Structure 1
Amino acid sequence: MAVDEDWSCDANDAVHITVVQPGETKPKTLSTFHPQFTYPIFGDDEQIFGYKGLIIRLRFAAHDLRPHVHISYDERFKPVGDTTALDLLGTLKPFIPEEALINLPEYEKAVQEDPSAKDFKPPGKQVLSYEVNDRQYEIWAGSLADPEVKRLLDRVQVLVSLFIEAGTPLETDDPEWTLERWTVFFIYEKVTPPTPTASSYSIVGYATTYRYWLYQRDQSESPTVKNDDFPQAEIKISELPGRLRIAQFLVLPSHHRSGHGTHLYTTIHAFCIADPTIVELTVEDPNEQFDALRDSADFCLLQPEFIKHNVNLNPDPNGAYSKKQRQRLVPTAALIPSQTLVEIRKSFKIESTQFAHILEMFLLSRIPKSHRLAGGTNLARLLIKKHKADNENDRRYYWWRMLTKQRLYKKHKELLDELELLDRVEKLDDTVRNVEEGYEMTLEAFEERPSESDEEEEPAEPSGSVRREKRKLAVVEDDEDDEWEDIEDKKLLTKRPKV
């Protein structure tokens, strides 16, 4: 039988996420916001059937994230045959801790009369304090093997499903040696306690990172088979060389546009640089919003270093090579100081593909805008003149395009080889144009910032299915495991790639 559509409601509108703290007589609301999406819980349509006036309120205590679920509605659909209203608690249980299911009076009493709230401090170690608009903030970092860190993360992980596209909550029941691979960073605001027994900490956001072992073979030794006994000594993950990867990254919507995402990312980066066992920092499936934040932070970090080493494109690399080489190949090292750049990348522990993006963006910024596509340069004439253009900035722009094409062609060679030559050239040109447009947007935002204290909008998270849309080739997704160091051994074509 037909069912009235009025019994269906939008799950994103029905779910209200609320941060609370003690008030004079009962908990008061600090902020309320809706999830970005709810399909992991309520299905792809993000619809809830069987209720009118439905509100699903997810509450979190501001300091220790004590959770609570409260469901209210005006009417509930009476079963007709096999058609029934959705079992809301049954649907939510896999995503929320058991303690969130107590009744509302018990929860309010627990928040109001928490005897430990006054002395609460975030678990782990304080790694940064900063100020935004006369408000004080702190970032704390702790191992997931710490029971207090684990408890906070277990309480808040439902937000992964509500804000991180394709994000998966962490399995915190793993063995301790596995949990030790994870470090959780929490941002808290220091506030004036609303009551004499309340906490002075209020949650702002958090990020999770994990380290994974990086195999580094001694290139001076030839691989040999050994019959030695397997080492019995205890191996600690924290003492082995590895990469640090950002997995989840969340700033609550009520704290967006205040620079907290940038502070959190740069703190994680500084943590990485300070640890001699970590080789580089990577990110797990960043989305477009996080890419913008990451690019801005990394560009701000690397720009002074590039300037200090006078990094720029050589507009006349042909002058150093014989006539035989001039017609076909130009070593990349003749265009840019490859070895210096390799050393910079390693010292700042930036993943190779990300470093290549920042370098390309910096090199583009060194070319006057009037000689770039965004400034209306005559690209058709440049493609005729190529490296023989009269103006050195036109030549720099030509070589910039060739460097960028080289990276993209190298990365996507297998898929490009499947295309006809003309299609291949067109696809590569379109991708370079998209990459350049993305860089121009970041550079424009960077140039328009009056000062470091003026921050752009913060992303909710990096993990998700949207990948570098302005940078990726339309036929394949980007990959962060490319070794940028190899660039110094590559040759750069002075003509369009011939495959």
Structure 2
Amino acid sequence: MTDALCHIVVDGNEVLELKLVRSPKDIESDETSFSSEMCHQVFGDNENIFGYTDLHIKLYYTAGSLQTYLGIEYTDKIEPSTYEGMKADDVEGALKKVLAPGYVTNLDNFVSLLAKDESFLPYGQLIHKFSLLPRHGGDKRQFEVYYSETSTPNFLSFHQRLQTFLLWYVDAASFIDVDDDQWTFFTVYEKYGVSEGGWRYATVAYATVYRYYAYPRHTRPRIAQVLTLPPFRKLGICAQLLQAIYSHYIPLPEVLDITVEDPSGEFQRIRDYVDAKNCETLPAFQPAKLLQGYSSEMANQACNKFKINKKQARRIYEILRLKNTNTSDKTAYLNYRLDVKNRLNAPFQKKKLEMQKLQKFLKPEEYAATINATGLSNTHSRLASEYIPLEQDYRRVIHRMEY
């Protein structure tokens, strides 16, 4: 692209402004605005928008029901007749493909929707309440978690608006098939008072959970999508949401265990924190037993009490053992590191035994090349590269537990 055209190419994240609007004054306030973290799923891999001068995209949602306003402003737009046939990107067309039907493009219409939002009530069944202190002081904030299914009245149209946030904050996000009634939903709302009296609700976070079948008459719920909206992050809401999901499914006798689909690093740390806090209360995870090594008793108690699967139970053991290990004691700390590294190395040991069986059928150079390709020849450096970031993650979880 020539330098002459560079001024009409902008980063979509820089020109997109999002808001969760509670009252008309929020529309004009910069404090209520927040940005997207990505936009390639809407505007293309390079995240650029071409063809406009002073482009500004406003994507505003009423705080409760998430009724949507789309405003697209610019001072100039290129015309094919003056730019060698090149057309400006169709911004509204790209957004229309992902926004729920019914969005408005007139700000006065949006304000009228805002008035209706005053009577908004959460969808589904209330399953959990909690309160949190604001980061900068002030009164406690009240939150509620509601459980919904695809059959919950009016929920799916609300969810259609809510899921659009995934595109700005979750890489490779996809909208779920709501025709499948095995999907369940957990939504967090803030319950807040207003000056004229009464209560209102604002949408805060949500998670989707799919109930997988497990032979013969069981289910294995899998947490698929979890998103806390940007204005509500760093408050501890996601941990409360996860605990609410657990509290819903743990008592159900048909549930074998609760799993997570491809968790991000951040969500895995939250999961570790919640699971570690829970497992700390179990007899098998008390300090004296942790220092004796991982046991089937730990796996059984974690599953029976909290529906934690074996892989996650082992991880929680490692976190709690580190928490209870005196790392100033060189022997105790060495024993801990060796225990974790043996677990990390187990799949490679199995692979090495398989390769030894194969060795007699390969030429020496073929065997050496295969060993190098699988990483089996460099065990020490490989284990170090796996172990160091793992312990760093564990320490972050422990720090939060002690905070």
Paired letter, 1:86? D
Distance 1:65 1:426 in 2: 55
Question: 2:157 maps to which residue?
Answer: 151
Aligned residue in 2 for 1:312? 290
Deviations 1:426-462 (A, max 9, x none): 55434433443234323433443486xx5xxxxxxxx
Q: String of CA shifts for 1:113-144, please: whole Å, max 9, x gaps.
A: x2xx4443201111111111111111111112
Residues 188, 201 of structure 1: 8 Å contact kept: yes
Tell me if the contact between 1:360 and 1:404 (Cα under 8 Å) persists in the aligned partners. Answer: no
For 1:398, give the aligned amino acid. L
Answering whether residue 341 of structure 2 is matched by residue 401 of structure 1, we say yes
Matched with 1:470 is none
Displacement of 1:295 in angstroms is 1.5
Tell me which residue corresponds to 2:14: 13
Give, in whole Å, the separation in 1 of the partners of 2:105 and 2:246. 40
Cα drift, residue 413 of structure 1: 8.6
2:86 maps to what in 1? Answer: 83
Q: Does 1:368 align with 2:342?
A: no
- Write the distance in 2 (CA, Å) between the matches of 1:58 and 1:395: 54
Matched, 1:269 2:246: yes
Which amino acid in the other structure matches residue 143 of structure 2? Y
**SS of aligned partner of 1:142:** strand
**How far, CA to CA, are the matches of 2:354 and 2:164 in structure 1?**
40
* 1:414 CA displacement: 7.8
Aligned to 2:233: 256
Structure 1 segment 240-255 matched on structure 2, within 5 A: 240-255=217-232
Instruction: State the one-letter code of the partner of 2:194.
Output: P
Counterpart code for 2:191: K
1:138 corresponds to 2:144: yes
CA distance in 2: counterparts of 1:351 and 1:344, whole angstroms: 8
Matched, 1:109 2:112: yes
Structure 1 residues 57, 42: closer, same or farther in 2, change over 3 A? same
Could you give the per-residue CA deviations for residues 302-344 of structure 1, whole angstroms, max 9, x where no partner exists? 1332434842354xxxxxxxxxxxxxxxxxxxx5432453343
8 A contact 1:140–1:185 mirrored in 2: yes
The structural deviation recorded for 1:256 is 1.2
Aligned-residue offset at 1:4? 1.5
Conserved? CA contact 1:245–1:282, under 8 Å = yes
Please state how far the C-alpha of 1:243 moved relative to its aligned partner: 0.9
Structure 1 match to 2:396: 445
Q: How does 1:28-427 map to 2 (within 5 A)?
A: 31-79=32-80, 80-112=83-115, 114=116, 117-133=117-133, 134-172=140-178, 174=179, 178-179=180-181, 181-193=182-194, 200-216=200-216, 240-305=217-282, 306-308=284-286, 310-314=288-292, 336-371=294-329, 394-395=334-335, 397-406=337-346, 409=349, 419-420=370-371, 424-425=375-376, 427=378
Distance 1:107 1:411 in 2: 61
Q: Which amino acid aligns with 1:22?
A: S
- What is the total number of aligned residue pairs between the two structures? 381
Q: One-letter code of the match for 1:281?
A: I
Q: 3-state DSSP class of the match of 1:146? A: coil
Distance 1:165 1:367, change over 3 A: same
User: What SS class does the counterpart of residue 209 from structure 2 fall into?
Assistant: strand
List runs of 5+ in structure 2 lacking aligned partners.
134-139, 359-368
Is the CA contact (8 Å cut-off) linking 2:65 and 2:158 kept in structure 1?
Answer: yes
Mean Cα displacement is larger for which, 11-20 or 339-348? Answer: 339-348
CA contact under 8 A between 2:243 and 2:274: conserved in structure 1?
Answer: yes
Deviation string 1:90-115 (CA, Å, 9 cap, x unpaired) is 11111012211442222222222x2x
Whether contact under 8 Å (1:161, 1:167) holds in the other structure is yes
Question: Hey, what's the Cα distance between the residues in 2 that align with 1:46 and 1:14?
Answer: 11
TM-score (structure 1 length as normaliser): 0.69
The residue that corresponds to 2:363 in the other structure is none
**CA distance change for structure 1 residues 215 and 242 in 2, over 3 Å: closer, same or farther?**
same
- Match of 1:311, SS? helix
User: Over residues 388-446 of structure 1, what are the superposed CA-to-partner deviations in whole Å (9 max), with x where a residue is unaligned?
Assistant: xxx57645543443234225655999899984279744554344334432343234334
Contact 1:55 1:72 in 2 (8 A): yes
Q: Is the 8 A contact 2:302 2:313 kept in 1?
A: no
Summarize the Cα distance change of 1:421–1:55 in structure 2 as closer, same or farther, 3 Å threshold: closer
Instruction: Give the letter for the 2:58 counterpart.
Output: R
SS in 1 for 2:271: helix
| Residues 200-256 of structure 1: CA deviation (Å, up to 9, x unaligned) | 11111111111110124xxxxxxxxxxxxxxxxxxxxxxx41111111111111111
Answer 1 or 2: higher relative contact order, Cα 8 Å, separation at least 6. Answer: 1
Range with bigger deviation, 59-68 or 423-432: 423-432
